[in-house]
A and B are shown apart, each in its own frame.
Chain A
Amino acid sequence: MRPMVYLKDVVTLTHIPELCSGCGICLSVCPREVLQRLNGKVRIARRDACIECGACQRNCPHGAVTVKAGVGCASALINQMLGRKKACCVVGD
C-alpha cells in the first residue's frame, strides 16, 4: 500500500543547494523519503510527505536544510492552549 500522506502544501521544509555538500546524511535520517539524490544533487522530492521532525536539519553539518521542526500532535497543542504545562505532551516555545 502507498504510504499515507497528510495535508498538502503546509510544510516549512527548505533545501538550499548553495550550502549543500551532497554528503547525503539528510537522506539517511529522513523516515519519509522526502529528499532524494538526482544526478548527484540532493533535492526535495516528496514535500507533502515531510512531517517536520527536524532530523535532516539537526544532522546537516552545513545548514543546507531548514524546517520549523515540531511534533504534529493535536493533544500537545490543546494542552498548550489550556496552559497545561505539566502534561506529558506540550509544544515548546
Chain B
Amino acid sequence: MRPPRLDQPFVTGVIKTAAGPVPRVSKVFSGTDRIGAFKVRWGIRRTRYRVDAGLYAIGEPTAESPVFVTANYKLTFDLLRRAIASIDGWILVLDTLGINVWCAAGKGTFGTDELVERIEASRLAGIVNHRKLILPQLGGPGVAGHEVKRRSGFQVVYGPVEAEEIPLFLEKGLKANERMRRKDFGFMERLALVPMEVVPAVRLGLPVAAGLFALCFLLGGLSLSRALECFAVPAGAIGTSILAGTVLTPVLLPWLPGRAFSVKGLVTGILSALLLIPLVRGSGVLETAFLLVSIPAMSAYLAMNFTGSSTFTSLSGVKKEMRFALPLEIGGVGAGLLMWIIALLGG
C-alpha cells in the first residue's frame, strides 16, 4: 500500500507528522473539479474518476483532530472536502475501486478488512492520540464497527448520511438526529441521476434504431426517402420511451401511481404514447397499436432499471418486481414489433 501521491491536482502541500509526511488537500472546489463532476454525471470516464487511497490532511490538523473515512471515488471525496472545509481534520480514503461509499459498502470494498489495513498502512495510530473514526453512515453495510475496534483499537462512530451535516454533527458532540440518519431521495437528487439513466438507454436504443432503419430500407424498395418515412414511427417510439422511462419516471417518481417502478414507467409510457399518437400523421390501426403497446413496455423496462439508482428498493422487492414485469415488458416489445412489421409488409 503506497501513500497517496503528492502530484494529485487537489493536493496543496504536505504536513509533517510523527509518522511521516501527509498530503494536505485544497479546501477550494476548483473549475476542474466542477467539470470532472459534470462529466461523471454523464458517464464520461466515470470508473476512472479516483483519488489515491490513504491518509490526507485538511486545514491544520493536530493529534486531537477528527478522522473522517471516505471512498476513493473523486465525486465522493470532493463532497467531503467541501463539507468539512471549515474543519481541521484527517481524511482516510479507502480503496473502493472508484465507487461511492454506499455501493462500495454493499459490495464489501468499503469494508472492515480494507479499513483495518488502511489504518495500519497509514500509521494512523502514530498520528492521532484519540482512537475514534467518523464513518459515513452509509458505510454501515460493509463495515462491522465492533470488529474494527477489536482488530485495530479504533472505535467506529457513524456520522450523518449526508456529508454537509458533518459540522453540525461535530457541534452536537458526535450525535446525529433522526434527520441526519435518514436517507432521502429528493427532486434535485433524482434529477442529477437522470443523465446516467439516459446515456445507457440511448446506447441500447441506437443499435436497435439502426436495425429498424435497415429493415425499412430493405422492405421499402431500397428508397431512402421511403425508408425515412417508415423509420419515423419506430424512431419516435424509441425516443418517447427513453424520455418516459429515464427522464419523466425518475423526476416524477413520488407522484406516480404504483409501488413497482415498472408500474410507474408503464404509466408515464402510456401517457407519453397518447401524446405522441396524434403527432404521427396518417398512421393506421396497427401502427397506433404498435405505439400503444411498445412504448409503455419499453418505458416500464427502463423505469425498472432505475431501482438500482433509487434509495428505497430492496433486493427481495426487485426480484419480485422482475418476476412479473420482465416477461410482460419483453412480450410487449415483441408484440409491438410484430404489429409494426405486419403494418410495414401490408403497407
Q: Do A and B bind each other?
A: yes
A residues contacting B by CB (< 8 A) are: 1, 3-8, 10-12, 25, 27-33, 49-56, 58-59, 61, 68-78, 88-89, 91-92
12 CB-based A-B contacts, threshold 8 Å: A1-B254, A6-B313, A33-B181, A55-B137, A58-B142, A68-B316, A72-B310, A72-B316, A73-B315, A74-B304, A74-B308, A77-B319
Complex alpha-carbon distance, A16 and B182, angstroms: 24
Interface string of B260-294 (1 = CB under 8 A from A): 11000000000000000000000000000000000
Residues of A contacting B181 with CB < 8 Å?
Answer: 27-28, 30-31, 33
**Interface 0/1 of B112-126, CB less than 8 Å to A:** 000000000000000
Nearest CB on A from B82, distance (A): 21
Given A28-B181, A55-B140, A58-B140, decide whether A6 and B314 contact each other with a Cβ distance below 8 A.
yes
By the criterion CB–CB under 8 Å, are B161 and A31 in contact? yes
Q: Does B164 contact A (CB under 8 A)?
A: no
Interface of B is mostly: helix
Tell me whether B47 is interfacial, beta carbon within 8 Å.
yes
Question: Taking A6-B313, A25-B145 as contacts, is the C-beta distance between A74 and B321 under 8 angstroms?
Answer: yes
A50 adjacent to B314 (CB under 8 Å): yes
Write the chain B residue with the least CB distance to A30.
B181
Task: Give Cα A77 to B107, complex, Å.
Answer: 14
CB distance from B156 to the nearest CB of A (A): 8
B27-58 at interface with A (beta carbon < 8 Å): 47
Q: What residues of chain B lie closer than 8 Å to A7, measured between beta carbons? A: 259-260, 314, 317, 320-321
Q: What chain B residues lie within 8 Å of A76 (beta carbons)?
A: 308
B141 an interface residue at 8 Å Cβ cutoff?
yes
A92 to chain B, nearest CB (A): 8
Q: Which residues of A contact B158 (CB under 8 A)?
A: 28-29
Contact B321 A54 (CB under 8 A): no
Question: How many B residues have CB within 8 A of the partner chain?
Answer: 47
Q: Are B315 and A52 interface neighbours, CB within 8 A?
A: yes
From the candidates B99, B254, B316, B318, name the one contacting A73 in the complex (CB within 8 A): B318
Asked if B183 is at the interface of the complex by the 8 Å CB criterion, the answer is yes
Contact A28 B176 (CB under 8 A): yes
Q: How far is the CA of A53 from the CA of B318 in the complex (A)?
A: 13
Task: Give residues 110-163 of B contacting A (CB, 8 Å).
Answer: 137-138, 140-146, 158, 161
Cβ–Cβ contact A68 & B253, under 8 A: no
Contact A3 B312 (CB under 8 A): yes
> Can you add 5 more A-B contacts, CB < 8 Å, to A3-B312, A11-B316, A71-B308?
A27-B181, A51-B313, A55-B140, A70-B315, A88-B99
CB–CB B312/A74 < 8 A: no
8 closest A-B pairs (Cβ-Cβ)? Answer: A73-B308, A55-B140, A70-B315, A72-B313, A29-B140, A31-B183, A7-B317, A52-B314
Count chain A CB atoms within 10 A of each CB in B102, B106, B314 and give the residue with the most: B314
Q: Is the CB of B141 within 8 A of A72?
A: no
B312 & A4 in contact (Cβ 8 Å cutoff):
yes
Closest Cβ of chain B: how far from A59's Cβ, in Å?
A: 5
With beta carbons under 8 angstroms apart, the residue of A5, A6, A53, A73 that contacts B141 is A53
Contact A31 B144 (CB under 8 A): no
A29 partner residues in chain B, CB cutoff 8 A: 137, 140, 158
In the complex, which residues of chain A have a beta carbon less than 8 angstroms from the beta carbon of B185? Answer: 3-4
A74 contacts which chain B residues (CB < 8 A)? 261, 304-305, 307-308, 318, 321-322
